[in-house]
Structure 1
């Protein structure tokens, strides 16, 4: 009897588990408020891009550099996983971080 209960319990547990991808469980809610570089974008760039993109290598260390390269940035961060040109290398921004950067462009690339 114990063996039967164990098997049924295990089956229920396995059925209840589901596999979901990072994209499915991450916050992909559209950004409602106005996005600015200093308030929203700078922290994302500093944490994910500046370690490689410092002066001398497509620098992204300040507002002007990021603003002037926004189309390339959006292209590269939006590429599918496995694309050798996807940035940042070795990882990916979350969908919400990509939404923030994309909305910043849509909102007019405001600094403050």
Structure 2
């Protein structure tokens, strides 16, 4: 009878140890969700505000030739904006290229039809 109890206790102990929370597996971070539809109001406006409007505001400063504070202003010059934000020799912002994800979002916005809302 003692041998039988020892087997049960050992089996239960092994099960409990196997079910412990310690694991060598690493859960990858959850990526930041990207809106399914990129619009000026839900994405591009914030990118422009965070990276461009300190100079391309109303009024413009630091020699910026145009303002990028409205949908129509950004839409009108989107090709110039994309060229400059991807330029390694003459980047905008002048401090250096903004993050690739922001540049990709602006390109996707253009590719998807320059939606406002």
- Shorter-chain TM-score range: 0.5 to 0.7
TM-score (norm 1): 0.66
Distance 1:87 1:105, change over 3 A: same
Distance (whole Å) between structure 2 residues aligned to residue 32 and residue 99 of structure 1: 13
1:58-97 counterparts in 2 under 5 A?
58-80=66-88, 83=89, 85-97=90-102
Please state if 1:101 is matched with 2:106: yes
Distance (whole Å) between structure 1 residues aligned to residue 77 and residue 48 of structure 2: 12
Match of 1:41 among 40, 44, 58: 44
Shift of 1:91: 2.3
Partner of 1:23: none
Task: Specify every segment of 5 or more residues in structure 2 that has no aligned partner in the other structure, as ranges.
Answer: 1-33
- Considering Cα pairs closer than 8 Å and 6+ residues apart, tell me whether 1 or 2 has the greater RCO: 1
Deviations 1:76-95 (A, max 9, x none): 00112xx1x21001122101
Task: Specify every segment of 5 or more residues in structure 1 that has no aligned partner in the other structure, as ranges.
Answer: 1-30
Q: What RMSD, in angstroms, separates the aligned Cα atoms of the two structures? A: 1.5
